[in-house]
Copies of this chain bind each other. A is one copy, B any other.
Amino acid sequence: VIPDLQAIVGDEHVLVDPDLKASYETDWTGRFTGTALAVVRPRTTEEVAAVLLVCASAGAKVMVQGGNTGLVGGGVPAGGEVLVSLARLTDIGPIEAGQVTVGAGVTLAALQAKALAEGFDFGVDLAARDSCTIGGMIATNAGGIRVLRYGSMRRQLVGIEAVLADGSVLSRMPGLDKDGTGYDLVGLLAGSEGTLGVITQARLRLWPRLTQRAVALLAAESVEAIVEMLPALRGGLPSLAAVEFFLPPGLGLVRKHAGLPAPFSAEHPAYLLVECTDRVDPLDQLAAVVEELPGLVDATVATDAAGQRALWGYREKHTESISAEGVPIKLDVSLPLTLLASFIAQVGPKIEAACPGARPIMFGHVNEGNVHVNILDTGSLHDEVTDAVLQLVASLDGSISSEHGVGRAKVPWLGLTRSPVEIAAMRAVKNALDPTGLLNPGVILG
């Protein structure tokens, strides 16, 4: 298979030397690793199609990789696959009618820079922006802090190009905002984690840039209170752009490792970071709504950009502060909003029972009921702690993965929250589009 692959992409883009392959074979957290038969780096959709045909006829499986920033082992080999890296599909087209065509290997940061230069914003933003690629973000239907305002990746898509398992190219790229002719194949490929096709290009919606910003950090009398504040925030603030929560343990780590001062004179049970963006300064509107919030015990509003960045720091420095403390288990769950507080109340004792002394740090996106559960000091009890948390999620009608995907890591728990009927339907769709199981074996459906 190697000479055939070399003939397609050139010798220098078929890596077989272990040293050259290494950075593709292990994820950035170091938790998932496997040996690839070869790493292939095509430059075009046509090359991807040719690579897939060669692999299919040789009986080699294919693993697809974007920026290798995933958190669920969905982009590294299990062992023996041809790893297809899309990092060289980096073309960015012109912005026309508020849309842009980008290659799968374009990083989020490169897209953001392009949009910004022409007065637009891209709707999804993530901490991994310098490395994560648009193809990978679509494949996992990535979310982040702006889902409340702009939706997840699927919502940003007005077109897609993908190579299917039989080497055919599915292309839907004219940039139609609305198209009622048959099944939503674009939306189906989004979130399919590379198991139904290899996304090579996308046509993306951009949003007019909103330059005026107001940020407040709120202290709440309870976790229940942050959920109860949401209707007033959403109802009173059409300019609402983000509602992020965190809790005292996370704030403690952020203060310890990032050296930030205490935001309030006392500690409080829960914190909410609220941002509004608009064409005109939304500060007065935000302040007026905050004053009337139920369950509010303290609040601080930033009046300039430096102050806004400082308030965001309490939320954004969580990930690095947790990592400074140790290697956490990183879970990403969502709950019905009415059960979010109940989950947060119960999860600590469940974790303690599974692994005495383990330390959960939680934060996330309130509007979507999305809790990032990071757990430190779990020793060898990784699976036991994961199971305890995800069983609780399932008992509360939640999802075991809100925005990270299933990958290989969450496969054992998929059946907790997706019914046999749903899993059978997914398997039928997989078999329909990839009958030989060529693409990303072991991902999502195991």
Contacts and interface: CB of A to CB of B under 8 A. Distances in A.
Interface of A: 96-98, 119, 140-141, 143, 147, 151-152, 154-155, 164, 168-172, 174-185, 187-188, 190-192, 196, 208-210, 230-231, 234-239, 278-280, 285, 332, 334-338, 365, 367-370, 397-406, 410, 414, 417-419, 421-426, 428-433, 444-445
Contacts of A210: 238
A238 B235 contact: no
A418 B432 CA distance: 19
A401 B182 CA distance: 9
26 contacts: A97-B338, A141-B180, A147-B178, A154-B184, A164-B425, A168-B421, A169-B421, A170-B421, A171-B419, A171-B421, A172-B422, A176-B335, A176-B369, A180-B402, A182-B414, A183-B192, A183-B425, A183-B444, A184-B187, A184-B191, A187-B187, A187-B188, A188-B188, A208-B231, A429-B433, A432-B432
Given A98-B234, A168-B421, A425-B185, A180 B338 contact: no
Contact of A181 (B176, B209, B231, B414): B414
Given A175-B336, A279-B285, 12 more contacts: A140-B180, A154-B184, A169-B421, A176-B335, A176-B399, A178-B368, A184-B184, A187-B187, A208-B238, A209-B235, A428-B432, A432-B432
A180 B238 CA distance: 27
A185 B422 contact: yes
Contacts of A119: 235
A27 B306 CA distance: 61
Most buried by B among A98, A180, A422: A180
Contacts of A431: 432
Top 5 A-B residue pairs of the complex, sorted by shortest distance between their CB atoms:
A432-B432, A174-B397, A208-B235, A97-B337, A428-B432
Given A187-B154, A238-B238, A334 B428 contact: no
A410 B188 CA distance: 23
Most buried by B among A169, A179, A432: A179
Most buried by B among A210, A280, A337: A337
A404 B180 contact: yes
A231 B190 contact: no
A402 B433 contact: no
A401 B181 CA distance: 6
A178 B209 CA distance: 24
Contacts of A177: 147, 334, 367-370
Nearest to A340: B97
Nearest to A168: B421
A232 B195 CA distance: 40
Given A176-B336, A176-B398, A433-B428, A422 B184 contact: no
Nearest to A396: B174
A95 to B, nearest CB: 10
A445 B176 CA distance: 21
A430 B190 CA distance: 19
Most buried by B among A152, A154, A398, A399: A399
A122 to B, nearest CB: 15
Contacts of A234: 98, 208
A432 B426 CA distance: 10
Nearest to A423: B182
Given A181-B414, A403-B178, A279 B425 contact: no
Contact of A183 (B170, B191, B236, B399): B191
Nearest to A191: B184
A336 B97 contact: yes
B170 A444 contact: no
A180 to B, nearest CB: 4
